A and B are shown apart, each in its own frame.
Chain A
Amino acid sequence: MNKAIRLNAADNVATLLADAHKGEQIHVISASNGLEGIITLLQDIPFGNKVAWQPMQKGQTVIKGSFSIGKSIKPIATGQMVHVHNVRSQKLDIPTAIIQQIIQQMNIQEDV
């Protein structure tokens, strides 16, 4: 079974340790490799990208490694990919055209 690592107990996202597909069950592990739970992916998520561990409201802080990495711009369900299509930086945004380019190149399904 493919795995995702949730670096800190405060995190609401986990990082995929391998390419994984829609409908696949993923073992979410802690930094010390303990099994935290199993989630079902709502879409394809490539290696190194993030999956929502908890559902998020619009405007909620996305936490990875115990720190804020941005805010959600729409509701995100557990098992959904968390990336440039549904999160914005609180510091310096990536230009919209570049975000579109990333979404296109990664073939991210925006509504799942």
Chain B
Amino acid sequence: MKHFQGYLRSNGTVGIRNLLLIIAVDECAEGIARAISDKVTNSVVLTNYNTCMYGGNEEMIATLINAACNPNVGGALVITMGCGSINPTIITTPIAACGKPVESLTCIKSQGTRSTIREGTEKAQAIADEINRVERVEVPVSQLFVGVKCGGSDTTSGIASNPSVGRAVDKLIDNGASAVAGELLELLGCEDVLRQRSINDQVANNIERLIQEEEKRWHVAGTDLETMSVGNSIGGLTTLEEKSLGALAKTGSRPIQDILKINAKQIDKPKQPGLYLSETTMLCGGAGMHFAALGCQVILWTTGGAGFNNPIVPVIRVSGNPALINDDIDVDATGIMSGTDSIEAVSERILNSLNNVINGEPTAIEEIGYAYCTLYQKDQRVEKLLGIEPK
């Protein structure tokens, strides 16, 4: 895989989908956004469900803006109610700055819901017409940035799907593409391996610090969180490091260039091709949008057997569990569990599927199972209480 056919954006990034994003800046505007989206093909609704206030929600708004700048998005329509504190220009200015057509509408100024839907549909259709004129062109695979994530994990993940995705990731990196993983809490116990794989001490120190911060956020005395469950052990996992190394296997073996930070002040982007870690959350829905904000065009997702999806960044699902596999799964790794298929052969099928998807073929459940654009953020007040400050 040296090239693929993608949508070249004016800022030089390349999308594998050509979507119109309809952003409901205030949750009360979601109905308007959905009514418009129903009438415009290839449109996706992204709602800030949390609050219409800006203060304290900067990280979520940054994720929203960066997701709109994802190369799979061709343009955006931004809708506010008009009574909240998030000025639409906070959203439209950076989207316009990355070279995308963007328009905004305020419900109160547009004389109410019905007329905003009418006016919004016209604007959305105009942007869609402009986007639809963009055609796929051949670009080098160095333009590809792949998110890697696991979910619904079981014993088969560590043996079949994670090592197979890891092998595929190694091959992608060797071909000049980039990849990124997150789920820092699940890397507890891998610090030595991560240090060896980091390109320098500074990167290793940053990874260690950000893992420790994530541990602080989640391991709060008196609250219920199992890092290592009895079920994990009965499934065959003996120690925390065995569980974590199984999860790390999906990142392959190549050097880690850096850890991309996601916080209220910055959302990092890769500076050179290669493998990265990031602050992408372990929570699947939020992770989908974190990958979108980092600029990933596609996600490789390993699972026992579940159908996670994201409407902006297509998700290729890999499962090795013969009891749970169904037609939601894009790549069947169950042969590894019966000793009839190899990690090498499955990694080739993953790359094959990836090649098809980035060139335009839909994944197994793309546009079938509706998935919400979940915006996850760290609570700034809790961060303050825990003494965590972005550096």
Chain A residues in contact with chain B, CB under 8 A?
3, 5, 7, 15-17, 27, 29, 31-33, 46-50, 62, 64-65, 67-70, 82-84, 87-92, 94, 98, 101-102, 105-106
Contacts and interface: CB of A to CB of B under 8 A. Distances in A.
Task: Kindly state the interface size class of chain B when it binds its partner.
Answer: 20 to 34
B343 interface: yes
Nearest to B335: A33
B227 A31 contact: no
Given A47-B155, A102-B230, A91 B189 contact: yes
A82 B239 CA distance: 11
Interface of B: 155-156, 159, 163, 188-189, 193, 227-228, 230, 233-236, 238-242, 245-246, 249, 336-344
Nearest to A4: B339
A27 B339 CA distance: 10
The residue in B239, B249, B336 that gathers the most chain A C-beta atoms within 10 A of its C-beta is B239
Contacts of A98: 230, 233
A92 B190 CA distance: 12
Nearest to A31: B343
Given A17-B159, A65-B163, A69-B239, 20 more contacts: A7-B159, A15-B159, A29-B339, A31-B343, A32-B344, A33-B342, A49-B236, A50-B236, A62-B238, A65-B249, A67-B241, A69-B241, A84-B233, A92-B189, A92-B227, A101-B230, A102-B230, A102-B233, A102-B234, A105-B230
Contacts of A102: 230, 233-234
A31 B234 contact: no
A91 B193 contact: no
B189 A32 contact: no
Contacts of B240: 89, 91-92, 94
Given A48-B236, A102-B230, A92 B188 contact: yes
Contacts, number: 98
Contacts of A15: 159, 236
Dominant SS among interface residues on chain A: mixed
A34 to B, nearest CB: 9
B339 A70 contact: no
Contact of B159 (A5, A27, A62, A69): A5
A50 B238 contact: yes
The residue in B193, B238, B241, B339 that gathers the most chain A C-beta atoms within 10 A of its C-beta is B238
7 contacts: A3-B339, A17-B159, A48-B156, A65-B246, A69-B241, A70-B241, A94-B239
B234 A69 contact: no
A77 B353 CA distance: 43
B319 to A, nearest CB: 15
A90 B236 contact: no
Nearest to A46: B236
A17 B239 contact: no
The residue in B155, B240, B338, B339 that gathers the most chain A C-beta atoms within 10 A of its C-beta is B339
Nearest to A30: B342
Contacts of B342: 31-33
Nearest to B166: A65
